[in-house]
Amino acid sequence: MKKIKSALISVYYKDGLDQIVKLLAEQGVTIYSTGGTLKFIEELGLSAQSVESLTGYPSILGGRVKTLHPKVFGGILFRRDNPQDGEQLAQYEIPEIDLVIVDLYPFAETVASGAEEAAVIEKIDIGGISLIRAAAKNHRDVVIVPSVAQYAELYEILQNQQGATTLEQRRYFAAQAFNVSSDYDTAIFNYFTQKEGITAFKVSETQGTVLRYGENPHQKATFFGDLDALFEKYHGKEISYNNMLDIDAAVNLIAEFEEPTFAILKHNNACGVATRPTLVEAYLSALACDPVSAFGGVLIANRPIDKATAEEVNKLFCEVVIAPEYDPEGLEILKSKKNRIILRQKAIKRPTTQFRSLLNGVAEMDRDLSLGGRDSEMRVVTEQTPSIEQMKELIFANIIVKHSKSNAIVFSKGQTLLASGIGQTSRVDALKQAVETAKAFGFDRRGGVMASDAFFPFADCVELAHAEGVDTVIQPGGSVRDQDSIDYCNAHGMSMVFTGLRHFKH
């Protein structure tokens, strides 16, 4: 146990600091402070010594240099069990510092605000980060509190242990300090590399949520990220790893639609999607796509869920329901199933890149934020031209196939998913799967459209589609045998468009 006799306090955020300072004063701790923090302490009616009076230097360069001085860092880095260190402290009249409470300028917040570069640069902390590293390095003798998040823990220790700390506690605070400093440096690097394009991968997430379990119950899993920024959880059991994958897929899919749309997903793929004038109509049509697969699925809407929609949804066993809002009656209906996870999706700008672990490293790539036919030219390659309504239907189908596991084929009709073939090793097998699914639920394919996430290597896919009554097709194009498919379409009165954008998803 080491008793705290002196403290250096210099913080940007002062919420909750008052009770710590008062307790330190009661315990006879000498306090050193700077600028606004010193003023804050004095306004509490407490005494503190300015760092300027300790160092003999004022704050200079517009506040850029305040604590960078041997009389500050010597007192922090002093090894209490090293006689030579003790002699030097006495020689240069450097006081010991046992506790450092410091935080950092809000760099990431300033970047997020869209501030000019000059303002961003000024929020790169120098003194604070140096104090954190010095105190954490010397944690055998010094306590470091690197952010407001640790105030409550420090206060409890000071109160329960009469101002003394154990080595185990100091090491814990040091670990928290390096967590803060590494996160801060990562944010700075990522800001600079946006322009400089340095080939390095740095991600820092300081918030973790333990998930119910991993991909299987015997696997542990943790999500690192700020879930509260994305969702407000209204109800239900803890989220699992598989839930998270489905939620991610659902959010990405629904973001593509502007009109009232409901989607049902299972194992990251849509098993029901429909766009309708009202949400309840959209839900009932989406459910009709594949009511078998919908069991235990993840449901998502791009409009508030009202009472009528909630009453229909409540008839289905589902793991997760996501919507931008719920009316009070609808929410209470959905809460009647105690384990059902109910999330309100918040409006937030999502990252433009994504990454995944591969082999012994990580691969990062741009997100597929484009859609063939919407963000690229929809080029009619056949003699027959799709109507305006068919063009709209092609876009609808292409959205769904974009968000389906490759190889993928989608049939749609009337802004409704009819069937899909997903995750197949050959494109023709994906098409056959879609045909069998459509037949199983009695859907009439005639007058529908077909979307493919990649080109047709042979004409067999358009041949099969034609045999099922589907005569309008959207695909990226790009096969050396594109002309075979075009010739077949022309010979049988089919229309086909190329988008030039492939949408593989693995």
Mean pLDDT of 83-101: 93
Q: Is the pLDDT score of 351 beyond 90?
A: no
DSSP string for 431-480: HHHHHHHHHHTT---TT-EEEESS--SSTHHHHHHHHTT--EEEE----T
Q: Report the distance separating Cα 393 and Cα 474, nearest Å.
A: 10
Q: Which long-range contacts (CB under 8 A, 24 or more apart) does 87-94 make?
A: 94/70
Least confident of 31-35, 134-138, 424-428: 31-35
Instruction: State how far the Cα of 334 lies from the Cα of 144, in Å rounded to an integer.
Output: 47
Residue 145 backbone dihedrals phi, psi, to 5 degrees: -115, 105
Whether residue 462 is predicted with pLDDT greater than 80 in this model: the reply is: yes
Reported as a pLDDT band with limits 50, 70 and 90, residue 196 is confident
Q: Does the structure show a pLDDT above 90 at 390?
A: yes
Task: Identify any residues that bridge with 364 across adjacent strands, giving them in sequence order.
Answer: 355
**For residues 198-235, b (16+ Cβ closer than 10 Å) or e, as one string?**
eeeeeebebeeeebeeeeeeeeebeeeeebeebbeeeb
Computed on alpha carbons and rounded to an integer, the radius of gyration of the chain in Å comes to 31
pLDDT grade, residue 9 (50/70/90)?
Answer: very high
Average pLDDT over residues 359-374: 91
Higher-confidence residue: 36 or 335? 335
480 with 502: CB under 8 angstroms? no
- What pLDDT is attached to residue 348? 83
User: 456 with 477: CB under 8 angstroms?
Assistant: no
Spatial separation of the C-alpha atoms in residues 471 and 79, rounded to whole Å: 81
Alpha carbons 418 and 437: distance in angstroms, whole number: 8
Q: Is the pLDDT of residue 63 over 90?
A: no
Residue listed under structure tokens 């998040």: 149
Q: What is the pLDDT of residue 267?
A: 95
Local confidence band at 199 (pLDDT 50, 70, 90 cut-offs): confident
The whole-angstrom separation of Cα 24 and Cα 29 is 5
Q: Which sign, positive or negative, has the C-alpha torsion 170, 171, 172, 178?
A: positive
pLDDT score for 191: 92
- Determine the 3-state secondary structure of 315 from DSSP: coil
Beta bridge partners of 198: none
Return phi, psi of residue 93, to 5°. Answer: 55, 50
- CA 83 to chain centroid: 50
User: What is the rounded distance in angstroms from the CA atom of residue 248 to the CA atom of residue 203?
Assistant: 19
Cis peptide before 407 (omega within 30 of 0): yes
Q: What is the pLDDT of residue 237?
A: 95
DSSP state string for 261-289: EEEEEETTEEEEEEE-SSHHHHHHHHHHH
Q: What SS3 class is residue 208?
A: strand
Taking each helix axis as running N to C, give the angle between helix 70-77 and helix 83-91, from 0 to 180 degrees, rounded to the nearest 10: 160
Residue 474 CA to chain centroid, in angstroms?
Answer: 32
Rounded distance, CA 213 to CA 66, Å?
48
Tens of pLDDT, residue by residue over 158-170, are 999 999 999 999 9
CA-CA-CA-CA torsion sign (34, 40, 42, 48): negative
Widest CA span of the chain, in angstroms?
A: 98
Find, among 54, 148, 38, the residue nearest to 97 by Cα.
54
User: Residues 504, 453: contact at Cβ < 8 Å?
Assistant: yes
The number of helix segments (H) and strand segments (E) in the chain equals 20, 23
The residues annotated as belonging to the active site are 137, 267
CB-based contacts of 209, cutoff 8 Å, min separation 6: 222, 223, 224, 225, 227, 239
Q: What is the pLDDT of residue 246?
A: 96
* Number of neighbours of residue 109 by Cβ within 10 angstroms: 11
Tokens of 338: 């105690």
Burial class (CB in 10 A: 0-12, 13-18, 19+), 104: buried
